[in-house]
A and B are shown apart, each in its own frame.
Chain A
Amino acid sequence: MFLSAEFRAREQVVQAVRDLTAQGFVRDRLDLYSDEPVEMPAGVLPRRSYMSLGAVTGAVLLLLLTIGFVYFTQYNYPLVTGAMPIFSFWATGVIFYELTMLGAILTTFCWFLWESGVLRRKRRGPVPELKDGAILLRVECEGNQGETANRVLREAGAESVQELRA
């Protein structure tokens, strides 16, 4: 069962999240929906991100691929120019640098699409319709948690609490 509570002020949401966590709700089952970013104080509803790690990995990966590729192509059809060696780290350094950056850019973008879950076909539960200026808190309840959640949300200052249906 999914509940959706509508709030107007950030402080109320913070309160609601704190209370729900105290009641044993796992933070993976709490989601906020808003038409603008909601800054949460440290420790409230933290979302972990490995995006920078991903970007670095992507960068290094593409760097290695590029070095291998350039090395391969130059020996694949070896032509000498202007007394330079056939494969030169100095003269191709810019290419390695740019493709390293391209690796970081592309992984960041893909990581964003994956981590934010926007492209995911199967979503977990129904998504509440956004309302202008409102912050919606979706709570996933199990068994008889619904009663508790409803009470906590209303106490925190929710304007309305509804059950979401797919």
Chain B
Amino acid sequence: MAAISEPVVANAARAQLWRPLLHTSARYRMVVALLAAVTLWGLFAWGYQLKTGIGVAGIRRPVFWAIYLVNFVFWIGISHAGTLISAILRLTDAGWRKPVTRAAEAITVFALMIGGMFPIIHLGRAWLFYWLFPYPTERLLWPNFRSPLLWDVTAISTYLTGSTIYLFLPLIPDVAALARHTTGWRRRVYRALSVGWTGSDREWHALEFAMKLMAGIILAVAVSVHTVVAWDFSMSIAPMWHSSIFGPYFVAGAIFSGIAALLIAMAVIRRTLHLEAYLTEHHFNNLSKLLLLMSLLWFYFTVAENLTAWYGNEPKEMAVFGARVRGPFAPYFWAMVICNFVVPFVLLGIRRLRTIRTATIASVCVLIGMWLERYLIIVPTLSYGRLAATWGKYAPTWVEISISAATFTTMALLYLIFAKLFPIIAIWEFETEVMEVSSVS
């Protein structure tokens, strides 16, 4: 019986995990200021675009959609880090998930917020975005529920609601504990957020039951969300878009980039908050294997998509295919293959090379590769339409690049602020694991 030592272990863990909430270093402030500067620049660029017209972006006929939509698909993909991974691991009761889940769930919520902004940013009249919501209006007009964009609106709002609740539920015991141990404004905020949590076993029961249910529901929603994003493209009749493989291809790609984002976030958290004891080689090793698996799956889908197009040899599709693999888009295409397949396969497939450092490198490559993949799906198809007379080249402008860059800093900023306000590792889930381990020994 290790009955006496357990609280000590738990308290030590708590002290270390709470440290970043109560102390703010000068370095933290500097990083936040830097990120905020880039974010503000992005906001300025968006303001300029709103005032002048969407024409300040590089989009043109026939490339009506470009990197705003690339960012949209990319961030919605990243958002699959959290819910999918944490829900799968929760449902399969994988014990090693416990220090990972909150970091993943927070990625989901923030990535969704950012991704959800892009369909609005890319609108010609962005200030009228609410016309897509069904509400009684003096215009007597309801939205067209047959449009895939309406599917997007419902899918993303459902996913955002669900993943926010999914992040919030396991946070309740932590904020209740924080409310007990803090003073001043923190105590008031945490108390309010803890919605009257007393720690009774009825609450714990309800919480665990709700989490199990939510894990199941959120899995179903997450799969559907990225399928719907894929269907924005495959419901149209543009060459290489009108493809039945897009749904699963996008879902696999989303999980792939989601794991990569999670690995990067974990490496940064581990390094900056000195959580080497909690985020161990073991966690990185497991996630690396998952990343490797998804890399193989991604490669399989990519081969399936391109081989069928090439073998079918249909001229309109071949124009797009050719532009991708040997035309003007070839450098991006082969860079994507290297980033998404070659690098992860070598670095993570060979066991001796699989370390935290290489996993992080592979993850950065995967994020680049997945961004390129979305670019290669959207832009070549639109550049090479069905009538050769209308083909056209697209190049992004400073406005698009500024706004895209700002999304990455916004993500980092939101994440940093979240990690400052809430423990990034779910303490109560984690304590249970510590206790289980110590009572076994």
B201-230 contacts to A, CB under 8 A, are 201-210, 213-214, 217-218, 220-221, 224, 228
- Asked whether A118 is an interface residue with its Cβ less than 8 Å from the other chain, the reply is yes
Among A34, A40, A102, the one with the most B-chain Cβ atoms within 10 Å of its Cβ is A102
- Are A95 and B217 touching (Cβ within 8 A)? no
Contacts of A111 in B (CB 8 A): 206, 210
The answer for the CA separation of A35 and B203 in the assembled complex, in Å, is 11
Chain A nearest CB, measured from B217 CB (Å):
5
Chain B 183-203 interface 0/1 with A at a Cβ cutoff of 8 Å (1 = within): 000000000000111111111
The answer for the CA separation of A36 and B143 in the assembled complex, in Å, is 47
The answer for the CA separation of A82 and B79 in the assembled complex, in Å, is 33
Contacts of B199 in A (CB 8 A): 33-35, 130
Contacts of A120 in B (CB 8 A): 196
- Are A51 and B206 touching (Cβ within 8 A)? yes
Nearest A residue to B162 by beta-carbon distance? Answer: A105
- Asked whether B11 is an interface residue with its Cβ less than 8 Å from the other chain, the reply is yes
B1-57 contacts to A, CB under 8 A, are 1, 3-4, 6-7, 10-11, 14
Contacts of A77 in B (CB 8 A): 140-142
Q: Which of B119-127, B145-153, B313-321, B379-387 contacts A (4 or more CB under 8 A)?
A: B145-153
- Asked whether A22 is an interface residue with its Cβ less than 8 Å from the other chain, the reply is no
The answer for the CA separation of A108 and B216 in the assembled complex, in Å, is 12
- Are A33 and B134 touching (Cβ within 8 A)? no
Contacts of A134 in B (CB 8 A): 7
- Are B203 and A74 touching (Cβ within 8 A)? no
Contacts of A97 in B (CB 8 A): 224
- Asked whether B428 is an interface residue with its Cβ less than 8 Å from the other chain, the reply is yes
- Asked whether A165 is an interface residue with its Cβ less than 8 Å from the other chain, the reply is no
Contacts of B221 in A (CB 8 A): 98, 101, 105
The answer for the CA separation of A45 and B200 in the assembled complex, in Å, is 12
- Are B162 and A98 touching (Cβ within 8 A)? no
- Cβ-neighbour of B207 out of A40, A79, A104, A116 (below 8 A): A116
Chain B nearest CB, measured from A81 CB (Å):
7
Total contacting residues, chain B, CB less than 8 A: 61
Contacts of A99 in B (CB 8 A): 154, 158
Among B154, B161, B214, the one with the most A-chain Cβ atoms within 10 Å of its Cβ is B154
The answer for the CA separation of A71 and B324 in the assembled complex, in Å, is 43
Contacts of B172 in A (CB 8 A): 118
Chain A 11-46 interface 0/1 with B at a Cβ cutoff of 8 Å (1 = within): 000000000000000000001111111101000010
- Asked whether B173 is an interface residue with its Cβ less than 8 Å from the other chain, the reply is yes
- Are B228 and A94 touching (Cβ within 8 A)? yes
- Asked whether B397 is an interface residue with its Cβ less than 8 Å from the other chain, the reply is no
- Are B169 and A112 touching (Cβ within 8 A)? yes
Interface of B, secondary structure class, is helix
- With known contacts A9-B1, A74-B145, A133-B6, A105–B11 Cβ distance under 8 A: no
B159-179 contacts to A, CB under 8 A, are 161-162, 165, 169, 172-173, 176-177
- Asked whether A132 is an interface residue with its Cβ less than 8 Å from the other chain, the reply is yes
Contacts of A102 in B (CB 8 A): 154, 157-158, 161-162
- Asked whether B286 is an interface residue with its Cβ less than 8 Å from the other chain, the reply is no
The answer for the CA separation of A150 and B251 in the assembled complex, in Å, is 58
Chain A 73-114 interface 0/1 with B at a Cβ cutoff of 8 Å (1 = within): 110110101001000100110110111011011101101110
Chain A nearest CB, measured from B70 CB (Å):
22
Contacts of B205 in A (CB 8 A): 47, 49, 116
- Asked whether A65 is an interface residue with its Cβ less than 8 Å from the other chain, the reply is no
Chain A nearest CB, measured from B92 CB (Å):
18
- With known contacts A73-B145, A74-B142, A101-B217, A116–B202 Cβ distance under 8 A: yes
Chain A nearest CB, measured from B141 CB (Å):
6
The answer for the CA separation of A111 and B169 in the assembled complex, in Å, is 12
Contacts of A9 in B (CB 8 A): 1, 3
Among A38, A77, A104, A127, the one with the most B-chain Cβ atoms within 10 Å of its Cβ is A104
- Asked whether A119 is an interface residue with its Cβ less than 8 Å from the other chain, the reply is yes
The answer for the CA separation of A109 and B155 in the assembled complex, in Å, is 18
- Are B200 and A49 touching (Cβ within 8 A)? no
Nearest B residue to A114 by beta-carbon distance? Answer: B206
The answer for the CA separation of A33 and B198 in the assembled complex, in Å, is 7
- Are B224 and A36 touching (Cβ within 8 A)? no
- Provide 13 A-B residue pairs closer than 8 Å at the C-beta atoms, listed in order of the A residue: A9-B3, A35-B173, A36-B435, A38-B201, A47-B202, A79-B144, A91-B145, A98-B155, A105-B218, A108-B217, A120-B196, A130-B199, A133-B10
Shortest 5 CB-CB contacts between residues of A and residues of B: A133-B7, A116-B206, A73-B142, A32-B201, A112-B210
**Besides the contacts A8-B3, A109-B210, what 11 more A-B pairs have beta carbons closer than 8 Å?**
A33-B198, A35-B173, A36-B432, A92-B145, A95-B154, A98-B224, A99-B154, A105-B162, A108-B210, A118-B172, A119-B195
Q: Which residues of B pack against A, CB within 8 Å?
A: 1, 3-4, 6-7, 10-11, 14, 134, 140-146, 148, 150-151, 154-155, 157-158, 161-162, 165, 169, 172-173, 176-177, 180, 195-210, 213-214, 217-218, 220-221, 224, 228, 231, 428, 431-432, 435
